[in-house]
Chain A
Amino acid sequence: MSGIGQSVARLDGPAKVSGRARYTADTPMADVTYAVIVPATRPHAHITGIDLAAARAAPGVIDIFTHHNTPTFGPIDVPLSQPVMPLQDDRVLYEGQPVALVVAATLEQATHAATLVSVTYHDAPFDTDFGADLDRIEVAPAFFGIPPDNAKGDVAAGWVAADVTLEATYVTSDRHHNAMEPGAVVAVWRDGALDVYDATQGVFDARTCLAQALRIDPDIIRVSNSFIGGGFGGKGWGWPYQILPAMAARALGRPVKLVLTRAQTYTSHGYQAATRQTVALGARRDGTLTSLRHDSVVAGSFAGDHVEGAGWDTPALYASPAFSTTHRLRRLHRGNPAAMRAPFGGVGLVGVEIAMDELATALDMDPLALRLKNHTDINPIDGKPFSSKKLRECYAIGADRFGWSRRTAAPRSMRDGRDLVGYGMASLVLRAFRFAANARVTIDRAGQVRIETSTQDVGQGLSTVIPQIAADALGLPVDRVHLVLGDTTLPVAPFTGASSATMSVGSAVQDAAASLRRKLAAAGANGPQGYPGALAALGVDSLSADGAWAPGGEPGDGEASAAIFSFGAVFAEVRIDVDIPIPRVKRVVGVYSAGRIINPRTARSQMTGGIIWGIGQALLERSDMDTRLGRFLSKNLAGYLVPVNADVGEIDASFVEEFDPHASPLGARGIGELGALGVAPAIANAVFHATGIRVREVPIRPEHLLSAA
Chain B
Amino acid sequence: MHSPAKTRRDGAVAAADTATVSLRINGDLHRLQVDSRATLLDTLRERLALTGTKKGCDRGECGACTVHIDGRRVLSCLTLAVMAEGRDITTIEGLAPPDELHPVQAAFIEHDALQCGFCTPGQVMSAVACIREGHAGSDAAIREFMSGNLCRCSAYPQIVAAVRAAAAAGAV
Binding site for B on A (CB under 8 A): 9-10, 12-23, 25-26, 28, 53-55, 57-59, 106-109, 111-113, 115-116, 177-182, 227-232, 259, 261-262, 458-461, 601-602, 604-606, 608-610, 612-613, 636-638, 642-646, 648, 650-651
Contact = CB atoms under 8 A, between A and B. Distances in A.
Contacts of A10: 109, 112, 114
Contact of A609 (B57, B119, B146, B153): B153
The 6 closest A-B pairs by CB, nearest first: A19-B52, A459-B116, A229-B118, A16-B117, A612-B154, A26-B51
B106 to A, nearest CB: 8
Interface residues of B, number: 68
Interface string B135-161: 000000011101111111111111110
A261 B58 contact: yes
B73 interface: no
B118 A230 contact: yes
B9 to A, nearest CB: 8
A612 B53 contact: no
Contact of B150 (A28, A228, A261, A644): A644
B35 to A, nearest CB: 4
Given A18-B92, A19-B91, A637-B57, A648 B154 contact: yes
A611 to B, nearest CB: 8
Given A608-B158, A645-B146, A180 B151 contact: yes
A677 to B, nearest CB: 15
Contacts of B160: 645
Given A605-B155, A608-B157, A26 B45 contact: yes
Contacts of A107: 42, 46
A462 to B, nearest CB: 11
Contacts of A651: 157
Given A14-B101, A612-B156, A648-B157, A23 B54 contact: yes
B133 interface: no
Interface string B41-82: 010011001111111111101101000000000000000000
8 contacts: A19-B53, A57-B12, A111-B3, A177-B152, A180-B54, A180-B62, A638-B59, A648-B154
A601 B120 contact: no
Contacts of B121: 17, 19
A17 B105 contact: yes
Interface string B87-120: 0000111011000010001101110101111111
A54 B144 CA distance: 46
Nearest to A609: B154
Contacts of A13: 108-109, 114
B124 interface: yes
Most buried by B among A26, A259, A458, A602: A26
A180 B3 contact: no
Given A107-B46, A116-B11, A636-B59, A18 B52 contact: yes
A109 to B, nearest CB: 8
B51 A609 contact: no
Contacts of A180: 54, 56, 62, 64, 116, 118-119, 150-153
Given A9-B109, A262-B58, 20 more contacts: A10-B114, A13-B114, A16-B120, A18-B101, A19-B50, A106-B35, A108-B3, A229-B116, A229-B119, A230-B152, A262-B56, A262-B62, A458-B116, A461-B115, A604-B112, A612-B154, A612-B156, A636-B61, A645-B142, A645-B149
Interface string B9-22: 01111000000000
B24 interface: no
Contacts of A636: 57, 59, 61
A232 B152 contact: yes
Contacts of A609: 115, 153-155
Nearest to A106: B35
Nearest to B57: A262
A106 B46 contact: yes
Given A17-B124, A648-B157, A229 B117 contact: yes
A57 B52 contact: no
A641 to B, nearest CB: 11
A246 to B, nearest CB: 21
Question: Which of A23, A58, A643, A645: most chain B Cβ within 10 A?
Answer: A645
B52 A20 contact: yes
B1 A115 contact: yes
A25 B46 CA distance: 10
B12 A108 contact: no
Interface centre among A460, A602, A606, A646 (most CB of B within 10 A): A646
A259 B45 CA distance: 13
B38 A642 contact: no
A638 B54 CA distance: 18
B152 A178 contact: yes
Contacts of A601: 112
B34 to A, nearest CB: 9
Contacts of B57: 262, 636-637
A461 B112 CA distance: 10
Contact of A57 (B10, B153, B157): B10
B56 A59 contact: no
A320 to B, nearest CB: 34
Contacts of A230: 115-116, 118, 152-153
B37 interface: yes
Most chain A CB within 10 A, of B11, B12, B146, is at B11
A261 B77 CA distance: 12
Nearest to A457: B116
Contact of B51 (A15, A22, A58, A112): A22
A8 B17 CA distance: 52
B136 to A, nearest CB: 12
Given A605-B115, A605-B158, A18 B11 contact: no
